[in-house]
Structures are given as structure tokens and as C-alpha cells.
Amino acid sequence: MHDASQSSDVHSVALGAGFVFGCAVLYALYSAGSEVAIKRLGAMRFSLLSILVATAAVALHFLLSRPWQQLLLPAPVYGYSLGMALFSTILPIVWQSLAIRHIGAARAVLIGMLGPVLTIFLAGGCCTRRCRCRSWPVRCW
């Protein structure tokens, strides 16, 4: 709702909201279906397969939509990218797969949902953001 009030292009906002909803549905299916695959393949193999499939899809999209010369960037960019990939993608995927193997998909997803919820409440406490019941969950400021 906030984005719709800030933009005159309602079609783009609706398309973006549809993409977000689609991603949420796909993530739910991934989480629900991963338990069986993790039991069969193991947590590490499943994590590696997930990362490889996602990497291949992103690389293919990039190569089809942009010239490869755009990959020629300064060296620090590659260092920051490697750090982000390791700490924001690879490790969380492995940890989630291990959690699903040990406690099951339903419990792992419920525990994983604590992060976004705690972030919202910590924003209220640490960043002096006010969360009002009338604006929940649309906006929090």
C-alpha cells in the first residue's frame, strides 16, 4: 500500500507485488519439499545443488540481458561480492539445510521467521521507529 501511494505507475507496483508474492510461494514450496530431498541427498549436497541451480539461473539471465563486459569491475568489488556471497547466501543456505535435517522443515521455517519479525521490533527500539497497530503490517514508521 505504501508503494502504491508513492508511485503513479500502479501497474509496476502491482507487478512488483506479484513478484514478491510469487517468491514467497516458491520459497514455501522449496522449504516444504526440501525435507525429503535433504534426507535423500544429505544437507551439504542439497545445499550445493540449490546454490548451483540458483547461480546458473542468475548467470544465464545476466548473459542474456547484458554485455559480459559489465563484469569488468574494480578488484574491491569482487572482494565485497565474495564476502556477501559467503556470509549472506552460502552459509545461511547450508545452515538452513542442516536445521531442516535435524529438526524438520516446519520447525526450521518457523524459527527462520523470527529474523524478519525481530528486525521490525528492533527497528522500533534501536532506530526510534514507531510501530502503530493501525499501520501494521503495511508500514512501520
- For every residue of 68-104, which 3-state class applies, written as one string? HHHHCCCHHHHHHHHHHHHHHHHHHHHHHHHHHHHHC
| pLDDT, tens digit (0-9, with 9 covering 90-100), for 45-65 | 988 898 899 899 999 999 999
pLDDT at 137: 52
Q: How many other C-beta atoms are found inside a 10 Å radius of the C-beta of residue 108?
A: 21
Q: How many other C-beta atoms are found inside a 10 Å radius of the C-beta of residue 47?
A: 22
pLDDT at 72: 92
- Residue 141 reports pLDDT greater than 50: no
CA distance 38 to 30: 11
Q: Can you read off the three cell numbers belonging to residue 24?
A: 514467497
| pLDDT, tens digit (0-9, with 9 covering 90-100), for 5-41 | 667 778 888 888 899 999 889 888 888 888 888 889 8
